[in-house]
Amino acid sequence: MESWKLLDAQFLRHPFSHPNDQQDMLFIRKAEGALLIDESGKTYIDAVSSWWVNLFGHGHEPLLQSLKNQAETLAHVMFSGITHQPALELAQQLVQLKGGPKGAVFFSDNGSTAVEVAMKLAWNFRAQSSRSPTCFWAFSGAYHGDTLGAMAAGERDLFVKPYEHLLAPVHFLEYNPQSGYDLDRIRQRIKQEHPAAFIYEPLLQGAGGMRMQSANTLTPLLQVLREEGVLLIADEVFTGFGRTGTTLASEQLLTPDLLCMSKALTGGFLPLGATLMSPELATWAEQPDRAKRFYHGHSFTGNPISCALALATLNEWHSPTQQHAFSSLVQSHENKAAQWNQRFPEASARCMGSVLAIDLPRNTSGYFYTDSIGREVYKAGLQAGILFRPLGNVLYTVPPLCTNSDQLNQIYQVMEDLLMRYSKP
């Protein structure tokens, strides 16, 4: 075995690991544009934007420049009692985003912490109102992160089960994109269960299997929740930056009370979490009564380099070049989904914004590691020079915007080959 494999096996433990990982472990030395390059020089198209964080491509020059400039000026400073220009500018831009809450921003380190902040804010705010909350609400099949609060709001699957006794009370609503929601029943349940907030991945459940629902289905549910005084927490950690066709999915829905961003927020360069809150929550969080205020913080809260990268990301995202690349990608996905739906109707080809997904025809459930088809498909992808990250039998792509048409066609071709391979009786 190569020496790095031995070292890795001895000294490193990876996220969501499985002993078999060691055999197909990749050693990536470099990344350029849509490509990852391993230690032998072999390239892989990053068809999943490195766990959905990358937006324009690896090493994107304007982002690299902003990182360098900011690192030379102010790399980091404590954010309690201190502020700085990148955070000020970024917060102003984030509260102007269409569909997002317009009060203030609380920075943290990643998607899970952005969710933790939103849940803590919602709980504390509601606990001080006339009706004390007893739980949160979330959708079945959800994924909101791996810290204890975020995990409580996610599907209670293999990864969550061992910690069930530690989790905050969360009651689940069946995710029902086809038939919609029984709104009378939901009103009754709210009166019995007193949820502080409902947390949801707007329009698109990512880790749950790229499950899509229309604004027409989701909006009436959100309206009822709002009418009944349940705070809305939109988890846009994945859906932000075009994954549902608009900058925020919430543009197509009700403006939530709290909105979580991360992943593509820095274009895939550095971690950053942002929790956007309504003016009412922003005022409450600054109230004079010290015992009732909102307290939370991380050492790297509001890191200036991450904030500078997020500013550069927003600037790039709105540029005509990137918007053109985005529209072309969406168009290609739509054409491909239409073709596949003609030829392979059982695969339920579906697309939304920059995401295109199919179900491989096998009656399985579960994620990558609990389902052998996921591993087989992952390996087949690597052999063909493409990095996929199947979700059980769901094979999808959400490539960086710099992915050219040749590379995109390679991704589609391998997806189609796999579809045919598994379609065979």
Give whichever of 260 and 373 is closer to ligand PLP, judged by the CB atom: 260
Task: Determine the size of the site formed for ligand PLP (CB under 6 A).
Answer: 14
Closer CB to ligand PLP, 139 or 284, in the complex: 139
User: Which of residues 116, 201, 257, 316 is near ligand PLP by CB under 6 A?
Assistant: 201
Min CB(316)–ligand PLP separation in Å: 21
Which range binds ligand PLP by CB under 6 A, 2-10, 199-207, 241-249, 324-332?
A: 199-207
Out of 54, 70, 112, 266, the residue judged to bind ligand PLP by CB under 6 A: 112
Using CB under 6 A as the binding rule, whether residue 195 contacts ligand PLP is answered as no
Cβ closer to ligand PLP: 205 or 332? 205
Tell me the CA distances in angstroms from 74 to 69, 175, 272, 302, one per residue in order.
9, 45, 16, 12
Query: Does position 110 bind ligand PLP by CB under 6 A?
Result: yes
Q: Which residue is nearest to ligand PLP (CB)?
A: 111
Instruction: Please tell me whether residue 99 binds ligand PLP under the rule CB under 6 A.
Output: no
Phi, psi of 297 (to 5 degrees): 180, 155
Beta carbon nearer to ligand PLP, 239 or 255: 239
Which of residues 70 and 110 has its CB atom nearest to ligand PLP in the complex?
110
Judged by CB under 6 A, the chain residues 255 through 314 that form the site for ligand PLP are 262
Closer CB to ligand PLP, 67 or 115, in the complex? 115
Cβ distance to ligand PLP smaller for residue 244 or 407: 244
Q: Which of 186, 190, 196, 237 binds ligand PLP (CB under 6 A)?
A: 237
143 part of the interface to ligand PLP, by CB under 6 A: yes
Residues lying near ligand PLP in the complex (CB under 6 A): 110-112, 115, 143-145, 201, 206-207, 235, 237-238, 262
